[in-house]
Amino acid sequence: MVEPGSHTKKFQKELNAGTSSLVLLSVMSRSGEPMYGYQIAKMLEESAPDIPMMKQGTLYPVLRSLEENGLLESTVEPSVSGPPRRYYKITKDGRAVLYEWTELWKQTKKFVDSILKG
């Protein structure tokens, strides 16, 4: 017997894996200054409080992956209230990739919407 909601949870996890990087690059492209992880998480939470798309545990691995791929860069700065913070900002390559991924997202969304409508 299939556990209720298990298919939905699996689908949501797979969908989030593909969109997290796009969302983070978009957030970073609109930020006028470098941001640290908790700041990014709070902003995402406030922008869509009813849609828990990305938990903090997911956020940091995606940020690291984007940095490893040259799409973000980071610096560590001391914090007055606790441990040092890692601040991220988007790179030139990150902006180019964001543009490509945004176009791909628009095409994918249009295709899926047309299929779902029948």
> What does the pLDDT read at residue 18?
79
- What is the chain's mean pLDDT, rounded? 90
* pLDDT per residue as tens digits for the range 27-78: 999 998 999 999 999 888 888 777 767 777 789 999 999 999 999 999 999 9
**13: Cβ–Cβ under 8 A, 6 or more apart, which residues?**
none
Report d(CA 66, CA 68) in Å as an integer: 6
Is the model's pLDDT at 1 over the cut of 70? no
Is the model's pLDDT at 81 over the cut of 90? no
Is the model's pLDDT at 79 over the cut of 90? no
Taken in order of first residue, the domains within the chain and their CATH numbers are 6-117 (1.10.10.10)
pTM value is: 0.85
99 contacts 30 by C-beta, under 8 angstroms? no
